[in-house]
């Protein structure tokens, strides 16, 4: 009797384990969650796109800032974060948006902005200056 | 203590048996669903293969790939109501000669064709070769009729076809679009080569790309890609089989209806972050983890959505979109970037 109960218990544990294992995606690189605030001359910039491109190659992670200028990067649909390692960062106005202020080239076309994304949680505030 | 043997099961034994059966079913069910998706994907691979072979046969007969779409006049200032796209041109090469005859491709414009009963019936014939089995969209593309009227952003991507300039006719849906160029802009593929240079894909405005124009090599260059009707909660709108109608009479780069037959990477495979209303420029599919592409050599490959990709906004004065070609996915889509593709 006790043996049967043990068998039943461990079977459930195994099922739970297998089900959870089956839900994970195996084709993703190591990711770190990235969030922060985008400001231009100290003021939060809403509706602007932020792109993180890993210098080691990989998919570009993207986000759009909310009304407070906050962003959280999305890697693919349903998965947030960016590839770990050094990332080149660009800030640009996405199609269909109404730019409220021009973004200087040094933050998009000729961006020299780079962040080191680590596993776990990262906060990168992007403080831009129009000069 | 006297032990009394009774035949039958105790309640606990019964529960254990049920639990074990439950576990086995729980293990089996996802496998069945995955097998179904694998079958759909393989059907989709076959569709792309057939279309790629159709394009090859067209190229053998005519000396070049079919045009992305055919337009009489150089932009801007075009008043054409409806345009034939590459799908209408390859019909005889995917065993649909009768359909092409009914549409009278080349004799009539698409607007004139859908004004006739036989032409309308032909344009509304769903073709299995052009439909991905995983796609959830209807057989006739209702994107324009259902959604374009709700948003001005959608209306520039109308999938409807018109015969008189005002009516909306739903025609057969296609889940496969020709690779037109790289970057985020539709301007080059609309025939405006002056602003950002000529397109670098194989299908665009009156294009006539032959094998010698694919200088990167046919096995390194994409020809056709997938686009689904709805990706997660974003309406993409898929494409049309035989043609499309420019949304406005003013035929300019703002006119994106041609995206019902062509595709560009935009901001990446299965992308959902940037400008959701513009996602029907890009490549999306419901196959988990990526999108299938037919290559110019006729092979079909599954491209993971995690492929090396860096989106680019085209800049005025570029000689071509290849100036911004700096990632594997872009090198795969461009026919003449001149860079080694590598493994992916």
Closest alpha carbon within chain A to B11: A1
Dist. CA B329–CA B344, nearest whole Å:
9
Rounded to a whole number of angstroms, the distance from the CA of A94 to the nearest CA of chain B is 6
Return the number of CB contacts < 8 Å for A and B.
83
**Record: contact B309-A59, CB cut-off 8 A:** yes
ipTM of the assembly?
0.82
Identify residues of B whose CB sits under 8 angstroms from chain A CBs: 12-13, 15-16, 19-20, 23, 26-27, 30, 153, 184, 231-232, 267-268, 270-275, 277-278, 289, 304-311, 313, 315, 327-328
Half-sphere exposure in the Cβ direction for B104 (13 Å, CA): 14
| pLDDT given for residue A130 in this prediction | 84
Considering the entire predicted model, what is its pTM?
0.88
**Record: contact A51-B311, CB cut-off 8 A:** yes
CA nearest to B111, candidates B150, B81, B72: B81
| pLDDT given for residue B110 in this prediction | 92
- φ, ψ at B152 (rounded to 5°): -70, -25
- φ, ψ at B258 (rounded to 5°): -65, -15
Rounded to a whole number of angstroms, the distance from the CA of A121 to the nearest CA of chain B is 20
**Record: contact A60-B278, CB cut-off 8 A:** no
CA nearest to B65, candidates B335, B293, B292: B335
| pLDDT given for residue B287 in this prediction | 95
Would you say B198 and B68 are in contact if contact means Cβ atoms under 8 Å apart? no
| pLDDT given for residue B77 in this prediction | 47
Half-sphere exposure in the Cβ direction for B83 (13 Å, CA): 33
- φ, ψ at A62 (rounded to 5°): -130, 160
The three-state (H, E, C) secondary structure of B34-70, written as one string: HHHHHHHHHHHHHHHHHHHHHHHHHHHHHCCCCCCEC
Residue A96 banded pLDDT, cuts 50, 70, 90: confident
Residues of B whose CB is below 8 A from A76 = 270, 305-306
Minimum-distance CB partner of B305 among A5, A19, A76:
A76
Residue A63 burial (10 A CB sphere; 0-12, 13-18, 19+) = buried
Dist. CA B34–CA B136, nearest whole Å:
17
Residues of A whose CB is below 8 A from B182 = none
**Record: contact B19-A1, CB cut-off 8 A:** no
In tens digits, chain B (344 residues) has pLDDT values of 556 666 778 899 999 999 999 999 999 988 888 999 999 999 999 999 999 999 999 999 999 999 999 987 665 545 678 889 999 999 999 999 999 999 999 899 999 999 999 999 999 999 999 999 999 999 999 887 777 666 666 666 778 788 887 888 899 999 999 999 999 888 888 888 888 899 999 999 899 999 999 999 999 999 999 999 999 888 888 999 999 887 655 545 456 788 889 999 999 999 988 877 778 889 999 999 999 999 999 999 999 999 999 988 888 888 898 998 999 999 999 999 999 998 88
The 8-class DSSP code of residue B278 comes to G
Would you say B81 and B169 are in contact if contact means Cβ atoms under 8 Å apart? no
Rounded to a whole number of angstroms, the distance from the CA of B315 to the nearest CA of chain A is 9
């Amino acid at each position: 009797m006790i043996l049967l109960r043990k068998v039943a218990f461990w079977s459930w544990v195994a099922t739970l384990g297998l089900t959870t294992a089956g839900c994970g995606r195996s084709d993703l690189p190591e990711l770190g969650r990235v969030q922060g605030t985008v400001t231009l001359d100290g003021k939060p910039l809403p509706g602007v796109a932020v792109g993180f491109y890993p210098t080691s190659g990989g998919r570009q992670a993207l986000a759009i800032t909310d009304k407070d200028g906050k962003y959280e990067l999305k890697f693919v649909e349903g998965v947030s974060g960016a590839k770990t390692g050094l990332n080149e960062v660009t800030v640009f106005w996405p199609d269909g948006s109404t730019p409220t202020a021009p973004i200087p080239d040094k933050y998009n076309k000729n961006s020299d902005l780079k962040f080191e994304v680590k596993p776990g949680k990262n906060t990168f505030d992007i403080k831009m200056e129009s000069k | 203590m006297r032990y009394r043997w009774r035949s039958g099961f105790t309640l606990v034994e019964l529960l254990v048996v049920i639990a074990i059966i439950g576990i086995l079913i729980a293990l089996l069910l996802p496998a069945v669903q995955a097998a179904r998706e694998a079958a759909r994907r393989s059907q989709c691979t076959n569709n792309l293969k057939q279309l790629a072979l159709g394009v090859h046969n067209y190229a053998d007969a005519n000396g070049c790939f079919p045009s992305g779409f055919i337009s009489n006049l150089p932009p801007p200032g075009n008043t054409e109501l409806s345009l034939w796209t590459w799908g209408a041109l390859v019909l005889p090469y995917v065993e649909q000669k009768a359909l092409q005859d009914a549409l009278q491709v080349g004799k009539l414009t698409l607007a004139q064709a859908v004004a006739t009963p036989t032409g309308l019936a032909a344009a509304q014939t769903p073709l299995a070769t052009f439909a991905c089995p995983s796609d959830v969209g209807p057989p006739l593309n209702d994107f324009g009729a259902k959604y374009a009227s709700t948003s001005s952003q959608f209306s520039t991507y109308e999938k409807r076809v018109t015969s008189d300039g005002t009516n909306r006719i739903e025609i057969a849906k296609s889940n496969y679009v020709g690779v037109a160029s790289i970057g985020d802009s539709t301007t080059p593929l609309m025939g405006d080569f002056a602003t950002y240079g000529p397109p670098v894909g194989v299908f665009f405005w009156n294009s006539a790309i032959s094998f010698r124009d694919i200088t990167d090599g046919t096995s390194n260059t994409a020809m056709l890609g997938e686009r689904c009707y709805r990706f997660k909660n974003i309406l993409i709108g898929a494409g049309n089989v035989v043609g499309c109608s420019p949304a406005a009479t003013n035929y300019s780069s703002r006119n994106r209806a041609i995206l019902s037959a062509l595709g560009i990477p935009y901001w990446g495979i299965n992308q959902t972050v940037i400008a959701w209303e513009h996602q029907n420029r890009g490549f999306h599919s419901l196959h988990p983890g990526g999108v299938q592409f037919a290559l110019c050599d006729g092979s079909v490959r599954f491209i993971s959505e995690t492929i090396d990709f860096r989106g680019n906004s085209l800049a005025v004065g570029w000689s071509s979109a290849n100036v911004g070609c700096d990632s594997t996915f872009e090198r795969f889509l461009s026919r003449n970037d001149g860079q080694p593709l590598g493994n992916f």
